Chains A and B, each alone.
Chain A
Amino acid sequence: MADVAAPGTAQTGRPSRVLRAFFRNRLALAGTAVLVVMLGSALLAPLIAPHDPYRMDLVNAYAPPGTPGHVLGTDNFGRDILSRLIHGSRISLFIGVVVVSIAATLGTALGLLAGYLGGAVDEFVMRAVEIFYAFPFLVLAIAVIAVFGPSIFNVMWVLGLVSWPLYARLVRAQVLALHDVEYVEAARASGMSRWRVMFRHVLPNVLTPVVVTATFGIPEAILASAALGFLGLGVQPPTPEWGAMIAEGKDFIRRAPNLILWPGLAIMVVVLGFNFVGDGLRDAFDPKGKGR
C-alpha cells in the first residue's frame, strides 16, 4: 500500500485535476462519506448520542438490538451501545490523527535532514530506521506501554514514536531523487542558502507522498490502538474506546455476541473509509497509475 507516486511526478497534477480525478472514483467518494460521518459523530458526540455513554442501567442490561430507545442494544451494565460507539469515534479519530501527526512530523524532519545533508547524519538516521524496523511494530509498542503504563497519552506518543521510520525512509528517497532536479539546482545556483532551498523547494515537493502515506497511517493507528485497548494496554474502561469495548464484551460472547459485533464493525467501516480515500488520493495524484 505504500507504493506512492514516483518522485517528480507527484507535483505535476494541478489541484483541480487531482480533485476531479478523486471525485470520479466511486470508492473514494464512499470513503469520504464515511469520514464525514465519523468526523461529524466525533465533533458532535454529546449532542447526537441518544444516551450518556457511562450511565449504567442494570435492569435493562443485555437489551437486544432494536429495543426501543436502544437501537443497537445495551451492554452488560445496561449502557447504550450506540452512544458508546459515537463517543468512541472521538477517541479513535483523535488517536489516529495525533499518532500520524507525531510520526509524520518526526519522520519528515529526519528524512529531510538525512537525504539533504547526507554523510554522518544520513548514516545515523538510517541506522536508527533499520533498528526500529527490526522490531515487529506492535511488539515494541506493547513493550514500551507496558513499561510506562497504559493511558491514552502513552498510546499516542508510543505509536507515533514507533511509526516515524516509514516517513523518514519515504522522504529521504524523495529528497535524494529531487537533489539534481533542475529547479533545485537553479535555486542553489542563484545563491540561496542550503536551508532556504531545503524548506522552500525540497520540502513542499516531498509532501504529497507524505500526505498519501499519512492517510493510510491513520487507520493503521486506529487498528493498533484498538488492539492495545483490547489487550488492556490502551485506553482503559469504562472509557468507550472501541478496542476496549470488544475486550469488555468478550466475556459475554455466549450471552450477547452483539457487544463485540458493533465496535468491530465500527472499526472496520472507518478503516475501510480511510483506505478508500487513501487509494483515491494516490490514484488522483499519480495520473500515470492505471487506477487499480
Chain B
Amino acid sequence: MLSYAVRRLVAMVPVLLGIAFITFALVSFAPGDAIRLMLGSESVNVANVERLRRELGLDLPWYEQFWNYLGDLLRGDLGTSITSRQPVADQIFQRFPNTLVLTVASLVVALLIAVPLGVMAAANHNRPGDYLAMGFAMLGVAMPNFWLGLVLLIVFGLELRWLPIRGIGSLEEGLLDYLSHLVLPAVTLGTSLAAILTRLTRNTMLDVLEEDYVRTARAKGVRPRAVLFRHALRNAMLPLVTTAGMQFGALLGGAVIIETVFSWPGLGLLSINAIRQRDLPTMQGAVLVFAACFMVVTLFTDLLYAAINPRIRYG
C-alpha cells in the first residue's frame, strides 16, 4: 500500500509540470502586453515599461521565464495581484478554505440524497419508487446549476425567507448562522452529483442483488433490509467512491458558478472577480490551485479505493 502511494506520488510529477506549463502559458502567451495591462491604460513612459519588463524577467525567452515561474511556485510565490497589490498566494490561502467547505458540503449532500434514493430505487425495481428516483436522476443532470441556484434562492430566500441568500456566515455568530448560509449553495452544487450517484447506486445495486451471495443470504433467511444494506450496499460502495472522486472536478468547476450566484467568498468568486478586472496573476494562481486540489482528491480517491477494496492489494 505504501509503495503504491509512493509510486502514485512520483507519477504526479510530470502531470504537475504539465499543469504548471498550461497555467504559465495561459498568461505568458496571452494576446496583449502584460506590462501595459499591469500599469493600466494611462499612457506610460516607454523607458519605465522597459525597466519594469527587465525587473520582472519578462524580457527573457519563454523557457527561462517558465523556469523562473517554476522556481517561484516551489517557494510558494504565486505573483502579485494587479488590483489589490497583495501576494496572490495570501488571497488564495484566505479564500480556499471556503471553497473546500462548500465542495465537501456538496459532496455530503449528494451522498445523503443518492445512497438512500438509489437503494430505494433498486429495492423497488420498475415500481413507482424506482421511477421517482430515476426521474430525479434525469432532471438533476439536466438542470443548469446556476439556474437551480436562482430558483432555490427565489423560493427559500425571497419568498419563504427561510434562508439567507448571499455571503458566508461567521462562526462567531454560531454554527447555525454558518450552516444556514451554507445550505442553499451546497444543495445547489450537490444536486447534479446527487443525480449521477443516484443512478449509479441504483444500477450497481441491481447488479449486486443478482449475485450468488445475495441469493444465499436471502435463502438462509437474512432480513431483506439487512441484505440490502449489509450485503449489497457494501459492495456497491466501490464504484460510488471512484465516481464521487472523479466528479469532484465538476464540483470545483461548479463552485466557480455557484459562488458567484450566492456571493460565497471562495476561490471561484475570487477568480471570476479577477477575470472581470483583468487581474491575470490572481486568475492564474486560482486555476493552478484548482487543478492541484483536484489532483490531490484524485490521489486520495485512488488510495481510498485500494484501502476499502479487499480484492485489491497493491504490493
Which A positions have Cβ atoms within 8 angstroms of B?
Answer: 1, 127-128, 130-131, 133-140, 142-144, 146-148, 219, 223, 226-227, 230-233, 243, 246, 250, 253-254, 257, 260-261, 263-264, 267-269, 271-272, 275-276, 290, 292
A135 touches B294 (CB 8 A): yes
Docked complex: B80-138 residues within 8 A CB-CB of A:
138
CA distance A234 to B271 in the complex (A): 16
B15 touches A142 (CB 8 A): no
Query: Which residues of chain B are near A219, meaning CB under 8 Å?
Result: 142
Min CB–CB distance A115 → chain B (angstroms) = 21
Decide if the interface of chain B is mainly helix, strand, loop or mixed. helix
By Cβ-Cβ distance, the 4 closest A-B pairs, closest first, are A138-B253, A131-B18, A264-B147, A136-B249
A139 touches B283 (CB 8 A): no
Docked complex: B258-303 residues within 8 A CB-CB of A:
260, 271-272, 275-276, 280, 283-284, 287, 290-291, 294-295, 298
A135 touches B151 (CB 8 A): no
B253 touches A139 (CB 8 A): yes
Given contacts A253-B158, A275-B138, A292-B203, contact A136 B252 (CB under 8 A): yes
Given contacts A131-B15, A131-B22, contact A142 B256 (CB under 8 A): yes
CA distance A51 to B241 in the complex (A): 50
Given contacts A147-B280, A230-B146, A272-B142, contact A136 B291 (CB under 8 A): yes
CA distance A139 to B275 in the complex (A): 12
B275 touches A146 (CB 8 A): yes
Given contacts A143-B287, A147-B30, contact A134 B15 (CB under 8 A): yes
B294 touches A142 (CB 8 A): no
B249 touches A231 (CB 8 A): no
B143 touches A138 (CB 8 A): no
B304 at the interface (CB under 8 A from A): no
B147 touches A260 (CB 8 A): yes
B167 at the interface (CB under 8 A from A): no
Other-chain contact of B15, A130, A139, A143, A231 (Cβ < 8 Å): A130
Other-chain contact of B275, A233, A260, A290 (Cβ < 8 Å): A233
B158 touches A243 (CB 8 A): no
Min CB–CB distance B135 → chain A (angstroms) = 11
Other-chain contact of A140, B138, B145, B272, B287 (Cβ < 8 Å): B287
Query: Which residues of chain B are near A144, meaning CB under 8 Å?
Result: 26
CA distance A144 to B30 in the complex (A): 9
CA distance A246 to B150 in the complex (A): 9
B18 touches A146 (CB 8 A): no
Other-chain contact of B250, A1, A137, A148 (Cβ < 8 Å): A137
Residue of A nearest to B206 (CB): A292
Other-chain contact of B150, A128, A148, A227, A260 (Cβ < 8 Å): A260
Residue of A nearest to B151 (CB): A264
A137 touches B141 (CB 8 A): no
B257 at the interface (CB under 8 A from A): yes
Other-chain contact of A136, B141, B148, B250, B283 (Cβ < 8 Å): B250
CA distance A232 to B257 in the complex (A): 11
